[in-house]
């Protein structure tokens, strides 16, 4: 496993991070989740990402149990706050009340005294940014979070958050956006701003939620046991399941084959070519998926390979920076 610095900080992350959105507490049973976490640890993954809202808080609890007994300094634990996890009218957004209460609840579920990175899961337009960043700063000073990050913030929001973080003498070191061969909306604005402000990207869905593995074929129904065939999980990936996109993805097979890579390894290696990307988050329902995915760490793709990929995917690629913030 290779490691990269996260933003302008001293924190190292594994190039491949393990995330449990849509899997732990929902799509897979707990014993399967534990097996995947063990496979991740065995493969050298040290960075684990979750969120309080995943599976209605169950994902955090499962991850906490899966990591129990591991030496705390041997891994990096990231979680997020923003979305509602309960019926209370204050149980949402980035108010001071919600941030502080959510952090304490997450720590209890994760069975730890602190998280390495606490992330704003979205930008909250209803709360003054000063209130949000001050609450984060207080958690850092209390030792509940070591660093602060954001997720799916646009370039303007990142710049404003970074400026406030400097005033408060804390480190805003990361953004967690969707990023893949097919979804490149961060490249024109978010990445340059992040580089200037000292943030790295921790990217989710480098496989376009499984589409870039090549398991889905044009003109065919998704396998019943796949993510696309899952009633809840499949809804989040409909944009990628068009026949024109699936046809182009199948055309990537010769490129992967020439390099001796699986389709998944090619897709993960592709996002890691961006030097502003500190880690690519993978999810898994089986240990074998983890073992395959980690082989992408350390792979370097030549310029001619990147050009071939661009030529194959063509206008199937989404680059509009207006789609950075996903609501």
Catalytic residues: 54
Distances (CA, A) of 47 to 39, 40, 44, 116: 13, 9, 9, 10
Maximum Cα–Cα distance across the chain: 55
Cβ-based burial of 174 (10 A; exposed 0-12, middle 13-18, buried ≥19): buried
Distances (CA, A) of 236 to 76, 147, 262, 310, 319: 27, 29, 24, 24, 18
- Give the end-to-end CA distance of the chain in Å, rounded to a whole number: 34
How far does CA 317 lie from the centroid of its chain?
Answer: 19
CB of 176 closer than 8 Å to CB of 119: yes
Tokens of 227: 């993510």
């Amino acid at each position: 496993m290779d490691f990269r610095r996260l933003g302008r900080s001293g924190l190292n992350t594994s190039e491949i991070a393990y995330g449990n959105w849509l899997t732990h507490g929902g799509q897979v049973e707990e014993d399967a989740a534990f097996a995947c976490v063990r496979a991740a640890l065995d493969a050298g993954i040290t960075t684990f990402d979750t969120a309080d809202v995943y599976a209605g808080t169950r994902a955090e609890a499962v991850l906490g149990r899966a990591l129990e007994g591991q030496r705390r300094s041997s891994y990096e634990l990231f979680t997020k706050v923003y979305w509602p996890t309960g019926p209370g009218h204050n149980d949402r957004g980035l108010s001071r009340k919600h941030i502080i209460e959510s952090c304490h609840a997450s720590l209890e579920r994760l069975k730890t005294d602190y998280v390495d990175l606490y992330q704003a899961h979205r930008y909250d337009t209803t709360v003054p940014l000063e209130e949000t960043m001050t609450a984060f700063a207080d958690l850092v000073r209390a030792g509940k979070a070591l660093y602060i990050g954001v997720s799916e913030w646009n370039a303007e929001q990142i710049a404003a958050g970074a400026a406030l973080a400097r005033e408060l003498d804390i480190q805003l070191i990361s953004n967690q956006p969707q990023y893949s061969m097919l979804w490149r909306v961060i490249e024109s604005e978010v990445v340059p701003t992040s580089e200037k402000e000292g943030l790295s990207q921790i990217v989710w869905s480098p496989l376009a939620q499984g589409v870039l593995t090549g398991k889905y074929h044009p003109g065919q129904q998704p396998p019943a046991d796949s993510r696309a065939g899952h009633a809840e999980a499949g809804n989040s990936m409909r944009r990628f399941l068009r026949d024109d996109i699936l046809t182009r993805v199948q055309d990537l097979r010769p490129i992967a084959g020439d390099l001796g890579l699986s389709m998944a390894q090619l897709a993960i290696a592709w996002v890691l070519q961006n030097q502003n990307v500190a880690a690519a988050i993978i999810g898994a329902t089986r240990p074998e998926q983890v073992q395959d995915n980690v082989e992408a760490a350390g792979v370097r793709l030549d310029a001619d390979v990147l050009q071939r990929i661009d030529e194959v995917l063509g206008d199937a690629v989404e680059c509009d920076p207006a789609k950075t913030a996903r609501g």
